[in-house]
Amino acid sequence: MDSSFAEYLDRRRREIDAALIAALPAPPECPPVVAEAMRYSVTAGGKRLRPILCLAAAEVVGGDSRTAMPAACAIELIHTYSLIHDDLPAMDNDTMRRGRPTLHVLAGEGMAILAGDGLLTEAFALLARLPDTIEPAIVARKLRVSGVIAGAAGPTGMVGGQALDLAAAVVQAGGPVPQGDNAPDPEALRVMHSKKTGALIRASAVAGAIMGGASEAVIACVDAAAAEFGLAFQIVDDILDVEGHSAQLGKTAGKDAVAGKHTYPALYGLDTARTMASECLARAERGLVAARLDDSRLMDIGRWIVNRSH
């Protein structure tokens, strides 16, 4: 990662973190116990990939990233809610996230569920509230973005992907990956992750392009590139779960293998999985080149996704 891009990420994270703090409900209107639970998870750090992608997409199409900031923050609130719920005992039963104890370990399952619910609903309140304007074009963009994000977060997107993941978790802990007629289906794996992980990453870029005032053709191009980024992200995440260390990842390494989950390394092997991630990046770049959007932070973000170590 070159120094200019590292500085860009650092600046963007600071801007996003400040906006997230300002957006979170606070006492006295919000009971302190749930306000603190939400703040604990939102301020735990993280890559901020999705909001950064949203802001970068707004800028690459010629828009103002400040107009896209509420959408960027809403997406991060939804992402954080999904992590809280994903870590619950009824889901992945994980005890560490972003280098800290998961929220249900600290505050109990009930409060973790409520904090996640609060973040999800507050995300849409934020989208409705900001930018605070009656300008028809911006109001129309906000409404469209709300629909895009809802679709990505709901049963046809992230929730649906998580449901497919739960339904596929039929292998006992420590057991082998099924073979023969019971072997994981590559297309089913792709569809599951396109919903569970890819949908919100795509929505991040599309929301930024919409708020930036892009044409339909440009929005479609950004969407296609972000779909490749989303697939690459999941493939690399699966690889890191095999090769990474918990301290570096900020979450429990190796939990997918222990749970017997279907992953890209389990299905294709590590070398082929790495190649697949690189191919995603190449396809995204070809599309952005065709739309003359390749000389932008979008491709830098794509390379960061593929080359990351956590």
How high is the pLDDT of residue 2? 79
Residues 6+ apart with CB under 8 A from 169: 259, 260, 261
According to the model, what pLDDT value does residue 245 have?
A: 55
Q: What is the pLDDT of residue 243?
A: 85
C-alpha span between 21 and 27 (Å, rounded): 13
CATH of the domain at 275: 1.10.600.10
In angstroms and rounded to an integer, the radius of gyration of the C-alpha atoms of the chain is 19
CB 164 within 8 A of CB 191: yes
pLDDT at 172: 38
Burial of 213 (0-12, 13-18, 19+ CB in 10 A): middle
Return the pLDDT at 99. 85
Q: Is the dihedral of CA 249, 252, 255, 258 positive or negative?
A: positive
- CA-based end-to-end distance of the chain: 14
**Where would I find the H helices in 30-91?**
32-42, 49-60, 65-86
Backbone angles phi, psi at 100, to 5 degrees: -135, 160
Containing H/E element for 222?
Answer: helix 216-243
Q: Render 96-151 in DSSP notation, one character per residue.
A: EETTEE-HHHHH-HHHHHHHHHHHHHHHHHHHHHSS----HHHHHHHHHHHHHHHH
pTM exceeds cut of 0.85? yes
Residue 159 sits in which domain range?
3-307
Could you give the 3-state DSSP secondary structure of residue 281? helix
Report the C-alpha gap between 27 and 5 in whole angstroms: 37
In terms of Cβ atoms closer than 10 Å to its own Cβ (0-12, 13-18, 19+), residue 174 is: exposed
pLDDT at 98: 83
Contact in structure between 60 and 293 (CB atoms under 8 Å): yes
Provide the residue-wise pLDDT of the chain in tens; the chain has 310 residues: 678 999 999 999 999 999 999 999 999 999 999 999 999 999 998 899 999 999 999 999 999 999 999 999 999 999 999 999 999 999 989 999 988 999 999 999 999 999 999 999 999 999 999 999 999 999 999 999 999 999 999 999 999 999 998 888 754 344 445 444 445 688 999 999 999 999 999 999 999 999 999 999 999 999 999 999 999 999 999 999 888 654 455 555 555 554 557 789 989 999 999 999 999 999 999 999 988 887 789 999 999 999 998 8
pLDDT of residue 175: 47
As for how many domains the chain has, the answer is 1
CB proximity list for 98: less than 8 A, separation 6 or greater: 44, 45, 46, 83, 250, 251
Residues 6+ apart with CB under 8 A from 272: none
> Alpha-carbon distance 90 to 86, whole Å?
8
Q: How far apart are the C-alpha atoms of 96 and 103, rounded to whole Å?
A: 9
